[in-house]
Structure 1
Amino acid sequence: MTKLLLSLHVLTAILAIGPIAVAASMFPRCARLSASGNVQEPNGQTTAFLHKICRGYTVVGIAVPILGVATGARMGILTDAWLLTSIVLTAAAAALLLTAVLPGQARLLAQPAGASGPEGTGTNVATDAIAQLRSAAARLSVTTGMFNLLWAAVVTLMIVRPGSTTGA
């Protein structure tokens, strides 16, 4: 049962958190392209899709800590310092995603629509509106980077496991 739980935990982490990390990282650049009226990103379709990926996989991602705690309980390691640290980092990453990344994406999605011309293409966006969007996208890039670094730290702790007897 422990091996099954651990396998499900790892698979869910890869399949749920991976897409969030990639889509969230791509989002700020696509938002800048959309606002500047770039033909590669007309009308924010890609940014809207990336935001939808992040939101959808966030719901699925709830299974990662649930399976992780179940696995830890089964293994009798819930009080180990490395696991408690991982839990705290996971909570911080989740809080960052829910309070900064997803709302920041939603704000950027709303911003070009209100600032663009009649066709919504972004071709008549005022220079200051583009500058504001670029600044917001840069802040979102930093926040997303912090989210990804938190997950990298969690993965590292899961592999290294200080005090492990596996010889790693």
Structure 2
Amino acid sequence: MMTTIFIFLHVLTAILFLGPVTVATSSFHVRALEAHEGNTRSGSVAKLLHRITNTYGMLSMLVPILGVAIMFTNTDYWSMGNFHAAIGFSVVAWALLIFLIIPRQRQMVGVLGLLDPEEVEGRSFEVKDWKTAKSQLSMFGGIFALLWVIILLLMFL
């Protein structure tokens, strides 16, 4: 019974948190570049997408935590390498989000002047080449999404 509850929560958190953060990471860079080029509406959208990436990214950590909890409810899962690989890939995806995607988004939003005052204190923001920054975020967002597709496939093996 506990396994079923944890699997339900695991899938639910994946849908609720990974879906939005994946869409936000794949859309942010386009809107940020448009905002840099003068589109004020895109600036508001970029700010919102950054908040979604940040907030839902942190909440998405519940997905691998619940995945590990599932493994503790049924000892058969400990012998299945695909689950270990999925957890490893989720750690890589989360590290990519925390250490590469979110900081680069924050830089772009900071340069656009769209961060809240408490987020700006004592920090300077600079983007040397907006097209390169856009390309890098596109690449990292694509890798992030691909990792979650691989993880999904591993869950069904």
May I ask how many residue pairs the two structures share in their alignment?
144
Q: What letter matches 1:151 in structure 2?
A: W
Q: What letter matches 1:71 in structure 2?
A: I
Matched, 1:133 2:130: yes
- What's the TM-score once normalised by structure 1's chain length? 0.80
Per-residue deviation at 1:155? 0.6
- What's the TM-score once normalised by structure 2's chain length? 0.85
Counterpart for residue 45 of structure 2: 46
Counterpart for residue 22 of structure 1: 23
Counterpart for residue 95 of structure 2: 95
Question: Unaligned 5+ residue runs, structure 1?
Answer: 114-128, 162-168
Which deviations, in whole Å up to 9, do the C-alpha atoms of 1:122-159 show, x marking residues without a partner?
A: xxxxxxx9981121011110011011101110011112
Structure 1: 4+ residue segments shifted above 6 A:
none
Write the distance in 2 (CA, Å) between the matches of 1:3 and 1:130: 47
Higher mean alpha-carbon deviation, 143-152 vs 77-86, is at 77-86
Aligned to 1:106, what secondary structure does the other structure show? helix
More helix by share: 2
Question: RMSD of the alignment, in Å?
Answer: 1.9
Question: Unaligned 5+ residue runs, structure 2?
Answer: 114-125
Per-residue deviation at 1:93? 0.2
1:1-168 equivalent positions in 2, closer than 5 A:
1-38=2-39, 40-41=41-42, 44-76=43-75, 77-113=77-113, 132-159=129-156, 161=157
Aligned to 2:94, what secondary structure does the other structure show? helix
Identity %: 34
Which deviations, in whole Å up to 9, do the C-alpha atoms of 1:83-109 show, x marking residues without a partner?
A: 111111011001000000101101111
Are the aligned partners of 1:69 and 1:78 in contact in 2 as well (CA < 8 Å)?
no
Larger radius of gyration: 1
Q: 1:157 to 1:40 in 2, by over 3 A?
A: same
Aligned to 1:78, what secondary structure does the other structure show? helix
